[in-house]
Amino acid sequence: MYMVNVAILGFGTVGSGVAEVMEENAVSIAHNALEDIRVKRIVDIRDIEDGHFSKMQTKDFSVVENDPDIKIVVETIGGVGVAYDYTKRSLLAGKSVVTSNKELVAKHGHELLSIAKEKNVNYLFEASVGGGIPIIRPITQCLTANELDEVYGILNGTTNYILTRMVQGNVSFEEVLHEAQRLGYAEADPTADVDGHDAARKICILADLCFGKSVDPDRISVQGIRGVTAEDVEYARRLGYKIKLLGRAYRLDEEHITAYVAPHLISKTSLLSNVDGVMNGIVVHGNALGEAMFYGAGAGKRPTASAVVADVIDAAKHMLARKYLGWDESEPDYVVDAADIRMRWYVRTGSGLEEIGRAFGNVRLISYPGEYPGAGPDEYAFATEPITGRELQKRLSGMEVRSLFRILG
């Protein structure tokens, strides 16, 4: 067998997991790749304590860049600084790159895929969305007979854990966030997760692949879960719904899509409503297939490493035949603001029935004042008929809005 040499950039949680999986499963990996694959170099500015892997360490990326025997580079550094520089230089040096870096793919994927095409190498990123869940490959291979018109799902394990515990334990957002941080499910700075930015990067990558044009995560509507309260969880339950943070993108017509991230009330009859804890679930809709859901561990050392190593095997099998993977640049009006889309809404307000009636007419009331412990004496919650976000804001002008979430299903 021919030996395929790999370099790993970054030896943190995912990078070390990749090295471990490649060592442990070397025989089956070689069988599946039809080639022996080994880690030759590991680049990290910190000293690697593991004696076996420390022998492979270099702190100088140019050692990897200038080594013609290294054919595949695994980037697990994260972010868009050094990771972008090293990825671009690796591709320009004629090396395939595999990554789990959703921020980099979301922001610079079009450019990096274009370089990969020019250099006849591969840029693969299965692990950038859904951790260990296979989703990129099904979209780009298994579902290509379909016209894909919608993709949505629970894309962040931290927020899903927090919302699950709020439902099951009747506890506040702040309490569960501290618990998630103690358990290692949430970072010390949880901003990217709880404010929806992580899910935004992932839904943009999925939209890029499903619809064929780039979607900038900085240009879509993003709402996190900080505003979800125990009262909201209870009122959703009364309606037969659960609250989940969803990333969602769907086709409006041949020239336009919409994409956004926001908490949703989703029906308990939906498969996604049972995706709890740190798990992820992603639904893809195609005109021939209908709906398909992909479920599994959306993060974690071993699940993410599993997806990364699968891409390494794929890259090794396509050393001489580049895989087609990519999307086009989009027009300025390609992504329609989610505020222009009609849907049903859940509203919790401190305004009275008279104001609600003037703004919305007859609505389905979910709660009345004093029904829920902790709720204000003048609090009402209700569900609207389908209405655009812009029209909703006009009607709510002057009212005291305490919560405002979309309803799906």
Domains 3-132+301-317 and 341-408 share a fold: no
Q: Is the confidence at residue 150, as pLDDT, over 70? A: yes
pLDDT of residue 364: 83
Percent above pLDDT 90 for the chain: 85
CA 224/CA 401 separation, integer angstroms: 17
Q: Cα-flanking dihedrals φ and ψ of residue 280, to 5°?
A: -115, 155
Mean of pLDDT values over 292-297: 94
202 is known as an active-site residue: yes
Within 10 angstroms of residue 94's Cβ, the number of other Cβ atoms is 11
Selected residue with higher pLDDT from 259 and 184: 259
Helix ranges (DSSP H) in 245-326? 301-317
What single letter denotes the amino acid at residue 164? T
Give the confidence band of 226 by pLDDT, cuts at 50, 70, 90.
very high
Beta strands in 303-400 (DSSP E): 342-349, 364-367, 380-383, 387-388
**Mean pLDDT across the chain:** 94
Where on the phi/psi map is residue 196: left (φ > 0), alpha (ψ -120 to 50), or beta?
A: left
> Does 341-408 carry CATH code 3.30.70.1150?
yes
Q: At what angle do helices 82-92 and 102-118 cross, to 10 degrees?
A: 20
Do β-strands 241-253 and 221-222 pair in parallel, antiparallel, or remain unpaired? unpaired
Q: What is the pLDDT of residue 93?
A: 98
pLDDT band at 112 (very low <50, low <70, confident <90, very high): very high
Q: Where are the domains of the chain?
A: 3-132+301-317, 136-297, 341-408
Q: What pLDDT, on a 0 to 100 scale, did the predictor assign at position 51? A: 82
| Residue linked to tokens 């699940």 | 303
Domain 3-132+301-317: CATH architecture, name and number where available = 3-Layer(aba) Sandwich (3.40)
Q: What is the pTM of this model?
A: 0.94
Residue 300: predicted pLDDT:
86
pLDDT grade for 73, boundaries at 50, 70 and 90: very high
Q: Which pLDDT score is estimated for 319?
A: 86
Torsion of CA 21, 27, 31, 33, to 10 degrees: 40
CATH class of domain segment(s) 136-297: alpha beta
Cβ atoms of 52 and 36 closer than 8 Å: no
Look at residue 374 and tell me whether its pLDDT is greater than 80: no
Residue-wise pLDDT tens digits, 331-362: 999 999 999 999 999 999 999 889 999 999 98
Q: Enter the tokens of residue 105.
A: 């793919």
From the candidates 71, 95, 107, 202, give the one annotated as an active-site residue.
202
Check pLDDT > 90 for residue 322. Answer: no
Nearest Cα neighbor of 152 from 282, 60, 259, 50 is 282
Count Cα atoms within 13 angstroms, Cβ side, for 83: 21
What's the angle, vertex CA 193, arms to CA 163 and CA 183, rounded to 5?
A: 65
Cβ pair 254, 147 in contact under 8 A: no
